[in-house]
Structure 1
Protein backbone atom coordinates (compact mmCIF):
# COMPACT_ATOMS: atom_id res chain seq x y z
CA UNK A 1 0.00 0.00 0.00
CA UNK A 2 2.96 2.30 0.41
CA UNK A 3 3.05 2.39 -3.40
CA UNK A 4 -0.48 3.82 -3.51
CA UNK A 5 -0.80 6.85 -5.80
CA UNK A 6 -3.53 9.45 -6.28
CA UNK A 7 -6.05 8.00 -8.72
CA UNK A 8 -5.68 4.44 -7.41
CA UNK A 9 -8.78 3.00 -5.73
CA UNK A 10 -9.01 3.72 -2.03
CA UNK A 11 -8.95 0.81 0.40
CA UNK A 12 -12.20 -0.33 1.96
CA UNK A 13 -12.82 1.58 5.18
CA UNK A 14 -12.33 -0.51 8.29
CA UNK A 15 -15.42 -0.93 10.45
CA UNK A 16 -15.54 0.74 13.87
CA UNK A 17 -13.58 -1.05 16.58
CA UNK A 18 -16.14 -0.18 19.28
CA UNK A 19 -19.49 1.45 19.99
CA UNK A 20 -19.23 4.50 17.70
CA UNK A 21 -19.78 5.52 14.08
CA UNK A 22 -17.02 6.36 11.57
CA UNK A 23 -18.43 9.79 10.73
CA UNK A 24 -20.99 12.32 11.94
CA UNK A 25 -22.33 15.22 9.86
CA UNK A 26 -23.26 18.46 11.58
CA UNK A 27 -24.33 21.10 9.08
CA UNK A 28 -21.50 21.48 6.58
CA UNK A 29 -18.95 19.74 8.81
CA UNK A 30 -18.03 16.07 8.77
CA UNK A 31 -16.36 14.77 11.94
CA UNK A 32 -14.33 11.61 11.29
CA UNK A 33 -13.57 9.22 14.13
CA UNK A 34 -9.98 8.31 14.81
CA UNK A 35 -8.56 5.97 12.18
CA UNK A 36 -5.50 3.77 12.34
CA UNK A 37 -2.88 2.39 9.96
CA UNK A 38 -4.80 -0.49 8.38
CA UNK A 39 -2.66 -2.86 6.32
CA UNK A 40 -4.18 -3.93 2.98
CA UNK A 41 -3.62 -7.61 3.79
CA UNK A 42 -5.37 -7.19 7.15
CA UNK A 43 -4.13 -6.19 10.54
CA UNK A 44 -2.50 -2.95 11.59
CA UNK A 45 0.88 -1.26 11.80
CA UNK A 46 1.73 -1.78 15.46
CA UNK A 47 4.46 -0.49 17.71
CA UNK A 48 6.12 2.46 19.32
CA UNK A 49 7.78 5.11 17.18
CA UNK A 50 11.32 6.02 18.11
CA UNK A 51 14.32 4.34 19.73
CA UNK A 52 13.88 0.56 19.70
CA UNK A 53 10.71 0.72 17.60
CA UNK A 54 9.50 1.99 14.25
CA UNK A 55 11.76 4.52 12.54
CA UNK A 56 10.55 7.83 11.11
CA UNK A 57 10.01 6.48 7.58
CA UNK A 58 7.98 3.51 8.87
CA UNK A 59 5.89 5.83 11.04
CA UNK A 60 5.25 8.19 8.12
CA UNK A 61 4.12 5.21 6.03
CA UNK A 62 1.74 4.24 8.86
CA UNK A 63 0.35 7.79 8.91
CA UNK A 64 -0.09 7.60 5.14
CA UNK A 65 -2.11 4.38 5.51
CA UNK A 66 -4.18 6.17 8.14
CA UNK A 67 -4.81 9.06 5.73
CA UNK A 68 -6.08 6.55 3.18
CA UNK A 69 -8.49 5.21 5.81
CA UNK A 70 -9.74 8.76 6.47
CA UNK A 71 -10.26 9.31 2.73
CA UNK A 72 -12.09 5.98 2.48
CA UNK A 73 -14.38 7.00 5.36
CA UNK A 74 -15.07 10.36 3.68
CA UNK A 75 -15.91 8.64 0.41
CA UNK A 76 -18.15 6.09 2.14
CA UNK A 77 -20.05 8.83 3.97
CA UNK A 78 -20.30 11.35 1.11
CA UNK A 79 -20.45 9.10 -1.94
CA UNK A 80 -17.57 10.95 -3.61
CA UNK A 81 -14.62 13.07 -2.56
CA UNK A 82 -15.67 15.98 -4.80
CA UNK A 83 -17.99 17.06 -1.99
CA UNK A 84 -15.03 17.80 0.29
CA UNK A 85 -14.52 21.57 0.39
CA UNK A 86 -11.48 21.36 2.61
CA UNK A 87 -9.87 19.59 5.51
CA UNK A 88 -10.46 21.88 8.48
CA UNK A 89 -8.44 20.08 11.18
CA UNK A 90 -6.38 16.94 11.70
CA UNK A 91 -5.53 15.64 15.14
CA UNK A 92 -2.69 13.13 14.93
CA UNK A 93 -1.57 10.92 17.79
CA UNK A 94 1.69 8.99 17.65
CA UNK A 95 2.48 6.01 19.88
CA UNK A 96 5.88 7.28 21.04
CA UNK A 97 8.85 5.67 22.67
CA UNK A 98 10.38 7.89 25.37
CA UNK A 99 12.39 10.72 23.83
CA UNK A 100 10.73 10.70 20.40
CA UNK A 101 9.70 14.27 19.53
CA UNK A 102 9.25 14.28 15.74
CA UNK A 103 5.48 13.77 15.86
CA UNK A 104 4.74 16.53 13.28
CA UNK A 105 7.01 14.79 10.77
CA UNK A 106 5.18 11.51 11.35
CA UNK A 107 1.76 13.06 10.73
CA UNK A 108 3.12 14.62 7.53
CA UNK A 109 2.55 11.15 6.04
CA UNK A 110 -1.20 11.67 6.44
CA UNK A 111 -1.16 15.32 5.39
CA UNK A 112 0.84 14.46 2.27
CA UNK A 113 -1.66 11.85 1.05
CA UNK A 114 -4.61 14.18 1.73
CA UNK A 115 -2.95 16.89 -0.39
CA UNK A 116 -2.11 14.35 -3.13
CA UNK A 117 -5.78 13.39 -3.40
CA UNK A 118 -7.57 16.65 -2.58
CA UNK A 119 -5.01 19.26 -3.63
CA UNK A 120 -5.01 22.39 -1.49
CA UNK A 121 -8.40 21.33 -0.10
CA UNK A 122 -6.49 18.63 1.80
CA UNK A 123 -4.31 21.07 3.75
CA UNK A 124 -5.83 22.21 7.04
CA UNK A 125 -4.96 23.09 10.60
CA UNK A 126 -3.27 20.29 12.48
CA UNK A 127 -2.02 19.01 15.82
CA UNK A 128 0.48 16.18 16.24
CA UNK A 129 1.07 14.80 19.71
CA UNK A 130 2.88 11.89 21.28
CA UNK A 131 1.02 9.34 23.37
CA UNK A 132 2.22 6.69 25.79
CA UNK A 133 -0.22 4.13 24.35
CA UNK A 134 -2.79 3.85 21.56
CA UNK A 135 -5.57 1.25 21.11
CA UNK A 136 -4.28 -2.29 20.41
CA UNK A 137 -0.78 -0.83 20.11
CA UNK A 138 -1.29 0.90 16.74
CA UNK A 139 1.53 3.24 15.72
CA UNK A 140 -0.69 6.24 14.90
CA UNK A 141 -4.30 7.34 15.21
CA UNK A 142 -5.66 10.36 13.36
CA UNK A 143 -9.04 12.05 13.39
CA UNK A 144 -10.32 14.81 11.11
CA UNK A 145 -12.89 17.54 10.70
CA UNK A 146 -13.83 18.26 7.08
CA UNK A 147 -16.01 20.98 5.54
CA UNK A 148 -18.36 19.56 2.92
CA UNK A 149 -20.68 20.80 0.20
CA UNK A 150 -24.23 20.03 1.33
Structure 2
Protein backbone atom coordinates (compact mmCIF):
# COMPACT_ATOMS: atom_id res chain seq x y z
CA UNK A 1 0.00 0.00 0.00
CA UNK A 2 1.69 3.20 -1.19
CA UNK A 3 -0.11 5.81 0.89
CA UNK A 4 2.19 8.68 -0.05
CA UNK A 5 1.60 7.96 -3.75
CA UNK A 6 -2.16 7.80 -3.17
CA UNK A 7 -2.08 11.13 -1.33
CA UNK A 8 -0.15 12.71 -4.22
CA UNK A 9 -2.61 11.23 -6.73
CA UNK A 10 -5.46 12.89 -4.80
CA UNK A 11 -3.54 16.19 -4.68
CA UNK A 12 -3.16 16.05 -0.91
CA UNK A 13 -0.16 17.10 1.15
CA UNK A 14 -0.29 16.21 4.82
CA UNK A 15 0.26 19.09 7.23
CA UNK A 16 2.26 18.80 10.42
CA UNK A 17 0.27 16.94 13.06
CA UNK A 18 -1.55 19.36 15.33
CA UNK A 19 -0.27 19.74 18.88
CA UNK A 20 -2.82 19.15 21.65
CA UNK A 21 -4.71 22.23 22.82
CA UNK A 22 -5.42 20.85 26.31
CA UNK A 23 -4.36 18.05 28.69
CA UNK A 24 -4.39 14.98 26.43
CA UNK A 25 -2.19 13.03 24.02
CA UNK A 26 -2.86 13.30 20.27
CA UNK A 27 -2.39 9.53 19.82
CA UNK A 28 -2.09 6.50 22.07
CA UNK A 29 -1.04 3.05 20.86
CA UNK A 30 -2.23 0.12 22.97
CA UNK A 31 -3.09 -3.50 22.23
CA UNK A 32 -2.47 -3.22 18.50
CA UNK A 33 -4.74 -0.20 18.18
CA UNK A 34 -3.88 3.44 17.63
CA UNK A 35 -6.42 5.79 19.21
CA UNK A 36 -6.32 9.25 17.63
CA UNK A 37 -7.77 12.18 19.58
CA UNK A 38 -10.37 14.39 17.93
CA UNK A 39 -9.00 16.42 15.02
CA UNK A 40 -10.38 19.73 13.78
CA UNK A 41 -10.66 20.92 10.17
CA UNK A 42 -8.27 23.50 8.73
CA UNK A 43 -8.45 25.15 5.31
CA UNK A 44 -5.55 27.34 4.21
CA UNK A 45 -4.32 27.40 7.81
CA UNK A 46 -7.65 28.63 9.17
CA UNK A 47 -10.00 26.65 11.41
CA UNK A 48 -13.29 25.87 9.67
CA UNK A 49 -16.02 27.09 12.01
CA UNK A 50 -19.79 27.44 12.11
CA UNK A 51 -22.90 25.32 12.47
CA UNK A 52 -24.20 23.11 9.67
CA UNK A 53 -27.85 23.87 8.93
CA UNK A 54 -27.52 27.35 10.36
CA UNK A 55 -24.65 29.38 8.89
CA UNK A 56 -22.92 26.52 6.98
CA UNK A 57 -24.30 24.13 4.38
CA UNK A 58 -23.91 20.39 3.91
CA UNK A 59 -21.08 20.75 1.37
CA UNK A 60 -19.07 22.92 3.76
CA UNK A 61 -19.57 20.34 6.51
CA UNK A 62 -18.51 17.45 4.26
CA UNK A 63 -15.37 19.34 3.20
CA UNK A 64 -14.63 20.05 6.86
CA UNK A 65 -14.98 16.31 7.61
CA UNK A 66 -12.56 15.56 4.75
CA UNK A 67 -10.09 18.04 6.22
CA UNK A 68 -10.44 16.40 9.64
CA UNK A 69 -9.53 13.11 7.94
CA UNK A 70 -6.39 14.76 6.52
CA UNK A 71 -5.47 15.79 10.07
CA UNK A 72 -6.10 12.22 11.27
CA UNK A 73 -3.68 11.00 8.59
CA UNK A 74 -1.08 13.51 9.78
CA UNK A 75 -1.46 12.18 13.34
CA UNK A 76 -1.16 8.58 12.14
CA UNK A 77 2.00 9.46 10.21
CA UNK A 78 3.53 11.16 13.24
CA UNK A 79 2.56 8.42 15.71
CA UNK A 80 4.01 5.72 13.44
CA UNK A 81 7.17 7.59 12.52
CA UNK A 82 5.98 7.98 8.93
CA UNK A 83 5.35 4.24 8.46
CA UNK A 84 1.85 3.96 6.99
CA UNK A 85 2.68 0.30 6.20
CA UNK A 86 1.80 -0.51 9.83
CA UNK A 87 -1.82 0.51 9.22
CA UNK A 88 -3.84 -2.66 8.92
CA UNK A 89 -7.28 -1.07 8.92
CA UNK A 90 -9.20 2.05 9.83
CA UNK A 91 -11.50 0.51 12.46
CA UNK A 92 -13.80 3.37 13.44
CA UNK A 93 -14.36 7.09 13.04
CA UNK A 94 -16.30 9.14 15.57
CA UNK A 95 -17.70 12.19 13.78
CA UNK A 96 -19.11 15.14 15.71
CA UNK A 97 -20.97 17.75 13.68
CA UNK A 98 -21.73 21.19 15.08
CA UNK A 99 -25.25 21.34 13.72
CA UNK A 100 -28.57 23.10 14.07
CA UNK A 101 -31.26 21.28 16.06
CA UNK A 102 -33.29 20.52 12.90
CA UNK A 103 -30.29 19.36 10.80
CA UNK A 104 -30.41 15.57 10.34
CA UNK A 105 -27.78 14.85 7.66
CA UNK A 106 -24.81 14.27 9.97
CA UNK A 107 -24.13 10.99 8.14
CA UNK A 108 -23.75 12.88 4.85
CA UNK A 109 -21.30 15.30 6.48
CA UNK A 110 -19.32 12.34 7.86
CA UNK A 111 -19.07 10.86 4.35
CA UNK A 112 -16.45 13.52 3.59
CA UNK A 113 -14.06 11.71 5.94
CA UNK A 114 -15.22 8.16 5.25
CA UNK A 115 -14.85 8.48 1.50
CA UNK A 116 -11.32 9.87 1.86
CA UNK A 117 -10.25 6.97 4.11
CA UNK A 118 -11.59 4.48 1.55
CA UNK A 119 -9.84 6.35 -1.27
CA UNK A 120 -6.52 6.25 0.61
CA UNK A 121 -6.59 2.76 2.14
CA UNK A 122 -9.01 0.90 -0.17
CA UNK A 123 -11.07 -1.79 1.56
CA UNK A 124 -8.89 -1.37 4.68
CA UNK A 125 -10.16 2.20 4.90
CA UNK A 126 -13.81 1.14 5.17
CA UNK A 127 -14.77 1.42 8.82
CA UNK A 128 -17.46 1.50 11.47
CA UNK A 129 -18.63 5.00 12.30
CA UNK A 130 -20.74 7.26 14.48
CA UNK A 131 -22.06 10.57 13.17
CA UNK A 132 -23.48 12.73 15.93
CA UNK A 133 -24.93 16.23 15.95
CA UNK A 134 -23.71 18.43 18.79
CA UNK A 135 -24.54 21.95 19.97
CA UNK A 136 -20.95 23.22 20.06
CA UNK A 137 -17.39 22.04 19.44
CA UNK A 138 -14.02 23.32 20.70
CA UNK A 139 -12.99 26.68 19.25
CA UNK A 140 -16.27 26.85 17.31
CA UNK A 141 -15.17 24.12 14.88
CA UNK A 142 -17.83 22.84 12.50
CA UNK A 143 -16.65 19.20 12.70
CA UNK A 144 -14.38 17.12 14.95
CA UNK A 145 -13.35 13.52 14.22
CA UNK A 146 -11.50 10.91 16.25
CA UNK A 147 -10.33 7.50 15.06
CA UNK A 148 -9.33 3.98 16.02
CA UNK A 149 -6.75 2.35 13.73
CA UNK A 150 -5.67 -1.32 13.78
CA UNK A 151 -1.90 -1.75 13.42
CA UNK A 152 0.42 -4.46 12.19
CA UNK A 153 3.36 -5.38 14.42
CA UNK A 154 6.40 -3.15 13.96
TM-score computed with the length of structure 2 as normaliser: 0.89
Q: Is the 8 A contact 1:53 1:97 kept in 2?
A: no
Structure 1 runs (4+) deviating above 4 angstroms are: none
Query: What SS does the aligned partner of 1:142 have?
Result: strand
2:71 alignment partner, one of 60, 69, 72:
69
C-alpha separation in 1, matches of 2:112 and 2:9 = 13
Alignment of 1:97-136 (within 5 A): 97-136=100-139
Tell me how large the CA RMSD over aligned residues is. Answer: 1.4
Alignment of 1:37-76 (within 5 A): 37-39=41-43, 41-50=44-53, 52-76=54-78
Structure 2 residue runs of 5 or longer lacking an equivalent are 1-7
C-alpha separation in 2, matches of 1:148 and 1:108 = 23
1:7 deviation in Å?
Answer: 6.3
Structure 1 residue runs of 5 or longer lacking an equivalent are none
Query: What SS does the aligned partner of 1:10 have?
Result: coil
Residue 90, structure 1, aligned to residue 82, structure 2: no
Q: In the comparison of the two structures, how many residue pairs are matched?
A: 145
Aligned to 1:33: 37
1:149 alignment partner, one of 143, 146, 152:
152
TM-score computed with the length of structure 1 as normaliser: 0.91
C-alpha separation in 2, matches of 1:116 and 1:12 = 21
